[in-house]
Amino acid sequence: MISVPDLNAKNALDFTYSICNYHVTEGEEFDFANVKNCDPFPMLVVSSAIRQLIRHSNIQQCKALNMQNSYAEHMRFYNAVGTKKGRGFAEDYGNSRYLPITRLRIDDLRKQGAENLERIQEVIESKSKLMANVLAQGNKSYKKWISYALTEIMRNIPEHSRAKEIWYCAQYWPTFDLVELAILDEGIGIRESLLSNSAYDELITNDEDALLLALRPGISRTFLPGGYNLSNDDWANSGYGLYMVSRTCAALAGDFIIASGDTAIKVSGDTVNTYKRGCHIKGTAIRLRVHLREMVNYEEIVKRILKDGEENARINNNTIKSASKSSKRILE
């Protein structure tokens, strides 16, 4: 029997490591009795780990005990791990305080874009605006930043990850005036994506190196050594998305977590903490947390972060020196 832990961020990351070399046999069960807390990020991380374990073990479905947490059921957690308990993914629901675990198929996004003569980034931006509208508590400024952050993170998945799906979940806690957004893919991960560009070969020897590099401004798989890296394309990839979003979360009294491979990194305030060789994430999982009340002057904060980032990129090698139009759109 596999015991699923209470769902906080550290427990979730530990769980992925504890089962990474495990093989489930037919008839073996997952016990969900310990699941009390149900934050978006750990729900995505744990459900992904269980899905992959079941897939690699060549069994048909997760067998489960003690699926008694009504909130976890409502947020589609039990459905996401592979059981039939709860409302299915075909049903669209949520309210001003939460978005349940949701799956977007990238082929469907591309098809929608083709039908509407839009690029996939525009489709993602439209969906991000709808998601932001749910979580922004009626505030246009909040909606603008949340939409921007979601677009910058989610567009990376079809552009870099080779994943087939985008998974997301979100929650607003009015008592703390806190929003948590979680996004996950089961693609190639940050390390393999950046190593597809030979410019970074000598800078990356492990997942920690890759994640720390990805959080720097101007770092992108699409960087052309000695080539032309400025583009008039509104959706050009300039390598500023993760940098801008992570630093803004930290500046707004929140935090940012990114996990890929065997490493997770948390950016909070002026601190960057590394949790290495303690998780096993196929693809990339990201958590954004912000206190909405801190967003009053977010535009000035974003301007400063962008200015610092472009100045930093100009003095470093193998970086794109200027953020793209999409990365600057938050200031329009």
Residues 44 and 124 in one domain: no
How far apart are alpha carbons 4 and 12 in whole angstroms? 9
Please give the pLDDT value at position 152: 92
Residues 149 and 43 in one domain: no
* Cβ(240)–Cβ(327) below 8 Å: yes
Considering 58, 88, 118, which residue would you say is the last residue of a domain? Answer: 88
Report angle CA 122, 177, 273 to the nearest 5 degrees.
75
How far apart are alpha carbons 226 and 47 in whole angstroms? 42
Low-confidence ranges of the chain (pLDDT < 70): 61-62, 93-94, 225-235
Residues 162 and 298 in one domain: yes
Residues 15 and 100 in one domain: no
Please give the pLDDT value at position 212: 97
Residue type at position 21: N
Secondary structure class of 266 (helix, strand, coil): strand
What is the sign, positive or negative, of the torsion defined by CA atoms of 310, 221, 278, 289?
positive
- Count of other CB atoms within 10 angstroms of residue 199: 18
Please compute, for residue 197, the number of CA atoms within 13 A of its CA located in the half-sphere on the CB side: 22
Residues 162 and 121 in one domain: yes
* Cβ(292)–Cβ(179) below 8 Å: yes
Q: Which residues contact 185 (CB under 8 A, 6 or more apart)?
A: 157, 161, 163, 165, 166, 167, 283, 284
**Max CA pair span of the chain:** 58
Please give the pLDDT value at position 61: 66
- Residue 38 to residues 41, 54, 73: CA-CA distances in angstroms? 9, 22, 10
- Rounded to two decimals, what is the model's pTM? 0.94
**Per-residue pLDDT reduced to its tens digit, 290-300:** 998 888 888 89
Residues 65 and 100 in one domain: no
Residues 65 and 101 in one domain: no
- Where would I find the beta strands (DSSP E) of the chain? 2-3, 30-31, 64-65, 98-105, 165-173, 178-185, 255-268, 271-291
Please give the pLDDT value at position 28: 83
What are the DSSP calls for 128-173, one per residue?
A: HHHHHHHHSTT-HHHHHHHHHHHHHHHTHIIIII--SEEEEEEEEE
Number of domains in the chain: 2
Residue with tokens 């979601």: 150
Please give the pLDDT value at position 229: 52
* Cβ(146)–Cβ(170) below 8 Å: no
Residues 185 and 314 in one domain: yes
What is the sign, positive or negative, of the torsion defined by CA atoms of 58, 61, 64, 69?
positive
First to last CA, the chain: 53
Residue type at position 223: F
CATH of the domain at 111: 3.30.565.10
How far apart are alpha carbons 70 and 36 in whole angstroms? 10
Considering 65, 88, 111, which residue would you say is the last residue of a domain? Answer: 88
Residues 65 and 146 in one domain: no
Residues 59 and 115 in one domain: no
Residues 25 and 102 in one domain: no
* Cβ(31)–Cβ(65) below 8 Å: yes
Residues 149 and 25 in one domain: no
Residue type at position 313: A
Please give the pLDDT value at position 121: 92
Considering 73, 88, 103, which residue would you say is the last residue of a domain? Answer: 88
The pairing of beta strand 271-291 with beta strand 98-105: unpaired
Domain containing residue 14: 1-88
